[in-house]
Amino acid sequence: MTKINKENKSMSKVPNLRFPQFTEEWNREKIGSILTIGSGKDYKHLSKGTIPVFGTGGYMTSVNEYLYDGESVCIGRKGTINKPSYVNGKFWTVDTLFFTHSFQKVVPKFVYYVFEKVNWLKYNEASGVPSLSKSTIEQIEINISCIEEQQKIATFLSLLDSRIQTQNKIIEELKLLKNTLIKKIFSRQLKFKDSNRNDFPEWEVKKIKEVGKFSVGGDLNKLDYKKEKLGKYTYPIYANGEGFGLYGYASSFQYPENCVTVSGRGNLGVANVRYEKFCAIVRLIVIYPDFDIHPKYLQEIINTVDFAIESTGVPQLTVPQISNYSIAIACLEEQTKIANFLLSIDSKIDTEIQILQKLEEQKKYLLQNLFV
DNA sequence: CGCGGATTAGCAAACTATGT
DNA sequence: ACATAGTTTGCTAATCCGCG
């Protein structure tokens, strides 16, 4: 890694961390004087193609025409206004996303990193949906260095960015590997042996309703809870949403440890093991597994089930619906083996996620210190 | 109470009236 | 014709509510 000089002149117009060959002060410039802002446009009338269309949330679709070809930094006009992005090549931006071009005295990549530092929400002028206008953005003042230093910083941070990308890829690959292994294990292509290197007994096909007791999450209004973990509010409340679906914390719990939850709204059919005492929001189905069912095994095998949605209105799953699906149950010893094997992959993924978080912290630190 | 339909909330995108 | 900014739409997920 490149050697960096540490100077502590936080009040002056030089950064805290600097590449050794640079000493001169940075200049204050209005964004409007170093680049031109272009407006996004509707793309609906265009035909499908190979040119990416970007919205404030990122890539959307591909069309056959482009608004601009080259390096550009995009920033939201409405909605998400604090997530700038860097693009290079032919692209189209949606109505609500500005792009930039015709850079003067600045390297586009450098501008991108400066934009990541700007507190855009501060310039929000709308009462409802956050929004920025061209003139507001043009008036914002930022600090820039000479082209050579900009180039150095941009290249350096790009290296870190690509490392972060690699880390994301590692995590994706591990998830993929886990999925592949799960498919092989539950389709019996990959079999575990018992401690005497013998085959385990054949798996028994059971209805989901035969593996434990069922319940569904209750009325939140009857629960004493807070959004944050605070004092007596220690028991997590789980919802149907993405990831672990943490909703808040309650002062008392409804379900014991080691239950399996299945999402009945939203992420339909997604199962999780809840290792702590917890509460559940309406529509979250809770299974108390029988003593001969390993919760982790149950979770993973439920996640392989493809539930059909029967309701006509908002898609949902109910207890009677899911309980009639069949799953294959191994003996408890084999279940435990499978569960521990999958848990070891989970913990490997966790480790990689922690590394990713470290890298992101590092980038944050550098964004704060390599700039004025 | 458990279910399912209806409603609501929050967000991003798309539309549209108005000004230049 | 283009830029701007308020309004509407569409989507997902949470919440409400009446019925058996």
State the SS3 of chain A.
Answer: CCCCEECCCCCCCCCCEECCCCCCCCEEEEHHHHCEEECCCCCCCCCEEEEEEEECCEEEEEECCCCEEEEEEEEECECCCCCCEEEEEEEEECCCEEEEECCCCCCHHHHHHHHHHCCHHHHCCCCCCCECCHHHHHHCEEEECCHHHHHHHHHHHHHHHHHHHHHHHHHHHHHHHHHHHHHHHHCCCCCCECCCCCECCCCEEEEHHHCEEEEECCCHHHCCEECCCECCECEEEECCCCCCCEEEEECCCCECCCEEEEECCCCCCCEEEECCCEEECCCEEEEEECCCCCHHHHHHHHHCCCCCCCCCCCCCCCHHHHHCCEEEECCHHHHHHHHHHHHHHHHHHHHHHHHHHHHHHHHHHHHHHCCC
| A123 and A224 part of one domain | no
Give strand letter and number of the nucleotide nearest A42 (CA to C1').
B14
Residue A292 above 90 pLDDT? yes
**AA identity, residue A19:** F
Q: Which of chain B's bases lie under 7 Å from a protein CB?
A: 2-7, 11-16
Residue A28 above 60 pLDDT? yes
| pLDDT grade for A271, boundaries at 50, 70 and 90 | confident
pLDDT of residue A9: 40
Residue A247 above 60 pLDDT? yes
pLDDT of residue A3: 45
Q: Which residue has the tokens 């980038």?
A: A363
Instruction: Specify if A198 maps to a domain.
Output: no
Average pLDDT over every residue of A334-344 = 96
pLDDT in tens, A68-95: 899 999 998 888 888 888 999 998 888 8
| pLDDT grade for A334, boundaries at 50, 70 and 90 | very high
User: Are the C-beta atoms of residues A370 and A10 closer than 8 Å to each other?
Assistant: no
Comparison of pLDDT for A351 and A216, the residue scoring more: A351
Q: How many CA atoms lie within 13 A of A40 on its CB side?
A: 25
| Residue A126 lies in domain | 27-144
Average pLDDT, chain A: 86
Instruction: Specify if A42 maps to a domain.
Output: yes
Give strand letter and number of the nucleotide nearest A321 (CA to C1').
B3
pLDDT of residue A270: 84
Instruction: Specify if A366 maps to a domain.
Output: no
Residue A350 above 70 pLDDT? yes
What's the number of domains chain A is made of? Answer: 2
Residue A301 to residue A108: CA distance in whole angstroms: 49
| A135 and A65 part of one domain | yes
Instruction: Specify if A153 maps to a domain.
Output: no
| pLDDT grade for A7, boundaries at 50, 70 and 90 | very low
| pLDDT grade for A134, boundaries at 50, 70 and 90 | confident
Q: Which of chain C's bases lie under 7 Å from a protein CB?
A: 2-8, 12-16
Q: Using the structure, give the distance in angstroms from the CA atom of A278 to the C1' atom of B8, rounded to a whole number.
A: 27
- CATH number, residue A274: 3.90.220.20
Last residue of a domain, one of A144, A169, A189: A144
Residue A67 above 50 pLDDT? yes
pLDDT of residue A243: 61
| A131 and A230 part of one domain | no
Average pLDDT over every residue of A199-203 = 95
Q: Which two tokens stand for residue A77?
A: 């006009």
Residue A112 above 50 pLDDT? yes
Comparison of pLDDT for A311 and A216, the residue scoring more: A216
Q: Using the structure, give the distance in angstroms from the CA atom of A40 to the C1' atom of C2, rounded to a whole number.
A: 11
pLDDT of residue A254: 84
Alpha-carbon distances, residue A352 vs A86, A175, A359, A365 (angstroms): 25, 11, 11, 20
| pLDDT grade for A127, boundaries at 50, 70 and 90 | low
Average pLDDT over every residue of A104-123 = 89
| A41 and A131 part of one domain | yes
| A122 and A211 part of one domain | no
| A97 and A208 part of one domain | no
pLDDT in tens, A33-63: 999 998 888 887 778 788 888 888 788 888 8
The CA-based angle A364-A247-A317, given to 5 degrees, is 125
Residue A211 above 80 pLDDT? yes
Q: Using the structure, give the distance in angstroms from the CA atom of A270 to the C1' atom of C14, rounded to a whole number.
A: 17
Share of chain A above pLDDT 90, in %: 44
Instruction: Specify if A63 maps to a domain.
Output: yes
Kindly report which listed range (A270-274, A307-311, A342-346, A367-371) carries the lowest average pLDDT score: A307-311
Q: Cβ atoms within 10 A of the Cβ of A196, count?
A: 5
Give strand letter and number of the nucleotide nearest A57 (CA to C1').
B12
Last residue of a domain, one of A111, A144, A177: A144
Q: Using the structure, give the distance in angstroms from the CA atom of A269 to the C1' atom of C11, rounded to a whole number.
A: 20
Instruction: Specify if A81 maps to a domain.
Output: yes
| A210 and A290 part of one domain | yes
Q: Which two tokens stand for residue A301?
A: 């095998």
pTM score, whole prediction: 0.82
Instruction: Specify if A341 maps to a domain.
Output: no
| A139 and A222 part of one domain | no
Nucleic acid strand B within 7 Å of A216 CB: yes
Residue A245 to residue A254: CA distance in whole angstroms: 17
| A214 and A316 part of one domain | yes
Instruction: Specify if A169 maps to a domain.
Output: no
pLDDT of residue A242: 63
| A228 and A311 part of one domain | yes
Nucleic acid strand B within 7 Å of A228 CB: no
Last residue of a domain, one of A144, A166, A190: A144
| A218 and A321 part of one domain | yes
Average pLDDT over every residue of A255-282 = 85
pLDDT of residue A343: 96
Residue A151 above 80 pLDDT? yes
| A210 and A321 part of one domain | yes
